[in-house]
Amino acid sequence: MNGERIAIVGVGQTVHKSKRTDINTAELCAEAVEAALADAQMTMKDIDCVILGSFEPADGYSGPDKWIVPEIGAVGKAGFEMQNVGTTGGVVAATGFNMAASGLFQNVLCVAWQKMDEAAGAFGRGGGGANEYWTGQFPMSPITNFARRTYDYMTRSGCTEEHLAMVRVKQDQCAQRNKNAQLKLGLTVEKVMNDFLLAWPIRRLHMCPTTAGSAAIVVCPEKRAKKVTKKPVWVEDWFTCHQGGALTMAEDPQASTLGYACRKIYKRCGITNPKKEINAWEVYEPASTAELRWMEEVGVAEDYKAWKLFEQGKVGIEKEIPFNPSGGVTATNPIGATPVVRVVEASLQIRGDAEEHQVPGTINRALATAYGGQGENVVFLLKKTL
Partner 1 sequence: MLKKEEPQDPSVAFRYPRVITYKHSLGYQSKFAHALKMGRIIATKCPVDGRCTIPPRIVCPMHHVKQTEWVDQGQRGKLLSAFKINFPMFDSRTGDLKSWETPIVSIELEGGARMDGWCSETDTEKLKPGMVLEAVWRPAEERQGRVDDILYWKPV
- Give the nearer residue to partner 1 in terms of CB position, either 116 or 340: 116
CA distance 68 to 76: 13
Return the range that interacts with partner 1 (CB under 8 A); candidates 34-42, 68-76, 151-159, 315-323: 151-159
CA distance 99 to 200: 43
CA distance 290 to 202: 11
- Give the nearer residue to partner 1 in terms of CB position, either 76 or 133: 133
Return the range that interacts with partner 1 (CB under 8 A); candidates 20-28, 67-75, 287-295, 325-333: 20-28
Decide if residue 18 touches partner 1 (CB under 8 A).
no
Decide if residue 134 touches partner 1 (CB under 8 A).
yes
Could you tell me the CA-to-CA distances from 109 to 43, 75, 232 in Å, in that order? 11, 13, 15
Among 35, 85, 111, 147, binds partner 1 (CB under 8 A): 147
- Give the nearer residue to partner 1 in terms of CB position, either 19 or 267: 19
CB 344 within 8 A of CB 215: yes
- Give the nearer residue to partner 1 in terms of CB position, either 44 or 151: 151
Strand bridging mode 376-383 / 6-13: unpaired
List the beta bridge partners of residue 82.
53
Which spans in 176-204 are helix H?
A: 189-193
**Could you tell me how many residues of this chain bind partner 1 (CB under 8 A)?**
44
CA dihedral 204→206→210→215, nearest 10 degrees, is 170
- Residues within window 292-331 making contact with partner 1, judged by CB under 8 A: none
CA distance 89 to 111: 8
- Residues within window 159-218 making contact with partner 1, judged by CB under 8 A: 196-201
Among 33, 58, 249, 379, binds partner 1 (CB under 8 A): 249
Among 34, 71, 252, 277, binds partner 1 (CB under 8 A): 252
Decide if residue 66 touches partner 1 (CB under 8 A).
no
Give the residue from 20, 26, 46, 33 showing the smallest Cα distance to 229: 46
- Give the nearer residue to partner 1 in terms of CB position, either 98 or 157: 157
CA distance 255 to 336: 22
CB 235 within 8 A of CB 94: no
- Give the nearer residue to partner 1 in terms of CB position, either 202 or 280: 202
Give the residue from 13, 216, 18, 212 showing the smallest Cα distance to 115: 212
Return the range that interacts with partner 1 (CB under 8 A); candidates 98-106, 247-255, 269-277, 323-331: 247-255
CB 366 within 8 A of CB 382: yes
- Give the nearer residue to partner 1 in terms of CB position, either 2 or 133: 133
Return the range that interacts with partner 1 (CB under 8 A); candidates 63-71, 139-147, 293-301, 341-349: 139-147
Decide if residue 67 touches partner 1 (CB under 8 A).
no
Hey, what amino acid is at 107?
N
Decide if residue 155 touches partner 1 (CB under 8 A).
yes
SS3 379: strand
Decide if residue 158 touches partner 1 (CB under 8 A).
no
CA distance 29 to 104: 25
CA distance 282 to 273: 18
Decide if residue 360 touches partner 1 (CB under 8 A).
no
CB 127 within 8 A of CB 57: yes
Return the range that interacts with partner 1 (CB under 8 A); candidates 7-15, 80-88, 142-150, 339-347: 142-150
Return the range that interacts with partner 1 (CB under 8 A); candidates 89-97, 123-131, 172-180, 283-291: 123-131
Decide if residue 144 touches partner 1 (CB under 8 A).
yes
Residues that bind partner 1 (CB under 8 A): 21-23, 60, 118, 122, 125-127, 129, 131-141, 143-144, 147-148, 151-152, 155, 196-201, 243-245, 247-253
